[in-house]
Amino acid sequence: DSPYAVACTERALGFVEGRLTLWAGADRHMERALALFAEVGDGNGEARTHRLMAFLLNRRERYEEALAHYRAAVDLYHQTGFEPGLAYVRNEIGWTYILIGEHAQALSECRLSLEGHLALGDLSGQAATWDSLGVAQHHLGAYEEALESFGQALRIYRTVYDRYLEADTLVHVGDTHCAAGRGAEAGLVWQQALEILEDLGHPEAAQVLDRMRLVDAR
């Protein structure tokens, strides 16, 4: 088999093992993939591997290590000139800063991401980044700005008919209303999210129900 094909296989195996929380195997496969992509000179393949490694590190709450991999991906995308990758990785860096609690830094990264996605006309990328911006603004207490950002994300998700991510953003809208002391509005929006998730048979419906019960219990 060609080194490129083996690299792709190693990366896929590593990601699957990571999703199954088989961390030792995941790390081993990912490191092999990284070495092979570097060996064949595929900078974009290498960058994509760094991003998946970072995603798995975030799941383990190893955020600083994740950021190091994301920054390696940024450097590689700058070298290859692959603008779509750069736009996506900026949002992933922004989300990692949200996980760390550095929300002003998250805003900065997500705005860079949004600029890239707007220039490329990538609707899915724009929606994901608007949602991240909204979460960062929510945590900074800028609730009205957050709702505007979520509104942009919702408009796009409805246009591209991505019902799960529409529901995910509706949950965030409800969270913002709740944080702003608008429990009734939060409940109405969460109800919309719940209906979509139940229709999809998605397990996250239970989490939305928990939110609704908490507000009702106040």
Taking the CB of residue 32, how many other CB atoms lie within 10 A of it? 18
Question: Which three-class secondary structure state does DSSP give residue 138?
Answer: helix
Q: Distance between CA atoms of 95 and 62, rounded to whole angstroms? A: 13
The stretches in the chain having pLDDT less than 70 are 217-218
pLDDT (0 to 100) of residue 5: 95
DSSP 194-217: HHHHHHHT-TTHHHHHHHHHHHHH
Question: Which three-class secondary structure state does DSSP give residue 101?
Answer: coil
pLDDT (0 to 100) of residue 215: 80
